[in-house]
Amino acid sequence: MPELLWPSERYKDSFLNAAREAQEAGSGLGDTLALNLPAVTADFAAYLSSLRQYEPGQPLPEGYVHSETLWLVEGGEYLGRVNLRHTLNARLREFGGHIGYEIQPSARGRGYATQALHLALERARDLGLERVLLTCDVVNLGSRRVIEKGGGVLEGEFTVPGHTEPIRRYWIPL
């Protein structure tokens, strides 16, 4: 069974393969597509620290909320990741929500995102959240299905400034 774990050097090779695959396919979360892979490969420890920079206990830059990144791992291989925001600000309330996820392209269609969300909801519950907001593009049928299978209750469809696609907002009570 896959697990959600803290990012670690142990998964360096499979993480880099997954990020390369996402970039070649042009399909993944924005920061993965924008990742400078040669720099990350050269100093993976610095990349791992950057993933932990918004965790509680660290000083937050203006406009940021506490958040964490967890990796979905199975059999020693990186498969995808979850970003979990501990609170919302006005922008995240509109678009972004508490939880974002991605699965590496070659691992999709096997239920991993469904499992990642299930594990992320357990983590959110452990953190004391009472309900979480998830948003996705209206055209992202895969993500819609994942959220609906996870118990998402549709708030509605919206357009948001700075984002070209209409979005859906869902709430999941915990």
- 10, 91, 110, 131: which one binds ligand COA (CB under 6 A): 110
- If binding is defined by CB under 6 A, does position 101 make contact with ligand COA? yes
Residue nearest to ligand COA (CB): 142
Using CB under 6 A as the binding rule, the residues of this chain from 11 to 70 that contact ligand COA are 27-29
Question: Are 5 and 71 contacting, i.e. CB atoms less than 8 angstroms apart?
Answer: yes
How many residues bind to ligand COA according to rule CB under 6 A? Answer: 22
Cβ neighbors of 61 (< 8 A, separation 6 or more) are none
User: Mask of contacts with ligand COA, 111-140, x by CB under 6 A?
Assistant: xxxx---------------------x---x
Nearest in space to 40 (alpha carbons), one of 78, 92, 87: 78
Q: Which is nearer to ligand COA, 46 or 141 (CB)?
A: 141
**Three-state helix/strand/coil letters over 71-126:** EEEECCEEEEEEEEECCCCHHHHHCCCCEEEEECHHHCCCCHHHHHHHHHHHHHHH
Residues that bind ligand COA (CB under 6 A): 27-29, 100-103, 108-114, 136, 140-143, 145-146, 149
